[in-house]
Amino acid sequence: MRFKSLSDLKRQQYREVSLATLPQNIAITYYARARAFKINELVHTIHEDSLEWYGYTLAKIDKPELIVDIGLPKNDQNLLDYTTIGPKRIADFQESLPEDTIINGWIHSHGTLNYRHFSSTDEANHLTVLDFVNARLRKPVAKKEIAIQDLVLLVQDQFAEKDLEKGSVALITDEPVSEAMLMETVYGSFCYSIVIGDEGWHEQEIHYKEIGILTGQTTVSSQKVDIVLIDTGKSLTKSDISALSDEVEVKIRPNTNPPPEMVERM
């Protein structure tokens, strides 16, 4: 294909410059992974039953893409598909964390169930967590040309109010210019989602959100990704397990009195 001139070529697409990339796989420390599966084990031991629980994946604020720990909130519903996470719950949990620690996603267990994928309730939870973490994890990922149909260029103190009736956007400069391009910053954020089972299986996705600061243009997407294990030298010690055991006992309780609609849906 031949173009008549360079300006024709330019019009084919709007300019976009990438500034940073969002994670394309989930980096997690051996310690954090061990903790997740240990919770499954402890639930089994303590409650003599497999329960579905959820927690948050945690990172240090200076390395938000690496999961270094699993945070366990109080689980008051331990049934598959009934664990609905609200923004208030996430905010409360974030507040209980040390200042240098942030939530970068969520993890939950399907216990002994051989349901190895995300449910529709899980899908809703992804978006709730993504919305919450967005404010803390967002970073400039691109500068993108704003498509302006009918840009009007005006010179300061040299136009009449009538000139403002023309065009869709008016750019007023102190010196005359003949051409201008507007580029906005696109902020991107991500949220990890991991589901695990007692048998040691796991499935995971990353959810992404990108917002143009000026146009407000929002893109939400997700992809299935791989886990990348990172060795930080830290391992789950006996005292870690003992503390985790106490936590599981207090925070994860079998739901012995589920509301009627839950029983119906089981």
- Residues near Zn ion (CB under 5 A) are 119, 122
For Zn ion, the closer of residues 25 and 119 by Cβ is 119
End-to-end Cα, the chain, rounded Å? 60
Residue type, 141: V
- Facing residues of 265 across strands? none
Distance (Å, whole) CA 59 – CA 31: 12
For Zn ion, the closer of residues 122 and 205 by Cβ is 122
- What DSSP letter does each residue of 55-107 carry, written as one string? EEEEEETTBTTEE-EEE---B---STT-----HHHHHHHHHHS-TTEEEEEEE
Residue 22 host element (H or E) = none
**Do residues 246 and 41 make contact, with C-beta atoms less than 8 angstroms apart?**
no
Residue 121 C-beta: closest distance to Zn ion, Å: 7
Residue 240 C-beta: closest distance to Zn ion, Å: 26
Residue 71 C-beta: closest distance to Zn ion, Å: 18
Distance (Å, whole) CA 93 – CA 90: 5
Residue 136 C-beta: closest distance to Zn ion, Å: 24
Nearest to 194 by CA among 34, 54, 39: 54
Q: Which residue's C-beta sits nearest to Zn ion? A: 122
For Zn ion, the closer of residues 79 and 170 by Cβ is 79
For Zn ion, the closer of residues 124 and 177 by Cβ is 124
Residue 196 C-beta: closest distance to Zn ion, Å: 10
Distance (Å, whole) CA 230 – CA 68: 9
Residue 82 C-beta: closest distance to Zn ion, Å: 10
Residue 83 C-beta: closest distance to Zn ion, Å: 7
Distance (Å, whole) CA 150 – CA 200: 58
For Zn ion, the closer of residues 69 and 122 by Cβ is 122
Q: Count CA atoms within 13 Å of residue 136 on its CB side.
A: 24
For Zn ion, the closer of residues 145 and 203 by Cβ is 203
How buried is residue 242: exposed, middle or buried, by Cβ count under 10 Å (0-12/13-18/19+)?
exposed
For Zn ion, the closer of residues 52 and 69 by Cβ is 52
Give the count of beta carbons closer than 10 Å to the beta carbon of residue 71: 18
